[in-house]
Amino acid sequence: MKINFGKIEDKWPSVNRSKGLQGRWLRNTLSVVLALVLLCVTALSVMVSAYYYSSMQAGMESKARAGTRFFETYLGSSYNEYYQSCAKFAQTFESKDVMELQFVNTSYRIVASSYSRLSGQSVETADITQALETGKIASYTGEDPATGERIMAVSSPLVYTNGEVIGVLRYVSSLKYVDRQILYFALIVTVVGVFMLIAVYASGRYYVKSILEPVSEITATAKRIAAGGYGVQIKRQYDDEIGELSDTINDMSNKIAQSEKTQSEFMSSVSHELRTPLTAISGWSETLLDAGGSVEAAEARRGLNIILRETRRLTSLVEELLEFSRMQDGRFKLNVSMGDIRSEFEDTVFMYGSRLQQEKIKLEYLENDDEIPVIPCDTSRMRQVFLNILDNAAKHGGEGGRITAEIRLEDQQVVVRIRDFGPGIAEEELPLIKKKFYKGSSKARGSGIGLAVCEEIVTMHDGVLEITNAEGGGTLVTIRLPIGEK
């Protein structure tokens, strides 16, 4: 069969990658990972910033308390002595490289500073105001009003002996280096997050690719199967769900190919089965018509017998096909009533036995004393099953010259056994012999659907039809029917 792959592509358009698995993965997974990375970077930056600021504030507050306690010894002196001690303390301040020490009066004027150039300047921030008003340590983080630089300031009130707040001791530190450290940390975390995002993207692309490639191959194979390329196979690459899907597609392809082959053989077989009797009927009809009254009586009888036999053969084949058609579309029904299955079986055996005598085949009925009760069944359908199996035994095992048949009661079941003494069935064909259209290696005439119809009838009776090779040669067919009510 020649397949036009160009037309197939029109019927099966390729998947838009932006809307396929890869696109969905990029939109869904990467967007979530990106959001998580941004959240982590922001959260860590905020946490580190809070840690640095709180640690810095705690250290400055501790230093401010210590300085305030030191100056309590001077608060009982005169204002002049007090301010002189402030100026001296500010000049000798050891940590002037990292922070500034200021003494601010109630007028928000710096009276002394470790940066002497700032003395006399006016400064007003929230920490000074709060310390003067509440008499408690206060802090401030923001811009320096004079320089615009980001600073952190801690103010501790200086209380005179009469309880009056006469100023504040104030530590001021630039946040430039702290903010720089926080920025460096945020950049490092961001870089790590970007690398994580790249790693997730790369691994995800590889993972999605490992899915898309076999899926694309499976899709292409499915297109070929849909276009008639039955039997094509997919190479299994992974031992996972993709591999299992490949095996399933391969199995489906094989079964479709086998089904196509079987149906083709069935059509050929049915055509042959129809052509042979029709040829005989047509030939003898023309012979009798052309001969008119000159044909001898014996010759005419022979011709009429052939016409009758081939007509019956055609009728049997057509009925078999009709039965199969009913079975396929669900119109196959049973007319169940309590029937004497033994009587039906024996009548069938004796009737068919006389026919087989003409073919030099002995049909032997193995009698027994088992009392077989009447059972719920469709007697006409069961007679059809018996006849079909006996006919198969004669066609496929008749060269053995002998067929045995028996009916028994075993384990609350009616058991029918029909055996021929022919060559038997090849072991590899036994599992397939009951499938529709299957004829195997046999060259005998037939449509290949008789056993499928028989099994359907037996199954509808809640029974079992078994076909095996008998010990000593030949084929054994066993039918088991329950004796209980259906």
Is residue 17 packed enough to be buried (19+ CB in 10 Å), middle (13-18) or exposed (0-12)? exposed
Q: Could you tell me which of 338, 343, 471 has the C-alpha nearest to residue 407?
A: 343
296: enclosing H helix or E strand: none
- For residues 265-282, give the mean pLDDT: 71
Which element (helix H / strand E) includes 200? helix 176-226
Please, is 159 exposed, middle or buried when counting C-beta atoms within 10 Å of its C-beta (0-12, 13-18, 19+)? middle
Q: What is the mean pLDDT of residues 209-216?
A: 75
**pLDDT by residue (tens digit) across 306-346?**
788 778 777 777 777 777 677 666 667 788 899 999 999 99
Looking at residue 126, its pLDDT comes to 92
- Per-residue pLDDT, 155: 93
Which pLDDT belongs to residue 13? 43
Cα separation, 388 vs 399, whole angstroms: 18
* CA gap 377, 427 in Å, rounded: 32
Q: Which of 180-194, 233-247, 435-449 has the highest mean pLDDT?
A: 180-194
Mean pLDDT within 49-53:
89
Task: Report residue 189 as tokens.
Answer: 């975390």
Query: Angle at CA 170, nearest 5°, toward 169 and 175?
Result: 165
Type of residue at 211: I
pLDDT at 7 over 50: no
d(C-alpha 364, C-alpha 402), whole Å:
7
Q: Quick one: average pLDDT of 28-54? A: 86
User: What is the Cα Rg of the chain in Å?
Assistant: 52
Of the listed ranges 193-197, 249-253, 263-267, 414-418, the least confidently predicted one is: 263-267
Residue 416: pLDDT above 90?
yes
- Residue 225, CB-side half-sphere exposure with 13 Å CA sphere: 21
pLDDT of residue 79: 66
Instruction: Provide the H-helix boundaries in 26-110.
Output: 31-71, 79-91
Domains of the chain: 72-174 (3.30.450.20), 241-329 (1.10.287.130), 337-482 (3.30.565.10)
Residue 463 scores a pLDDT above 90: yes
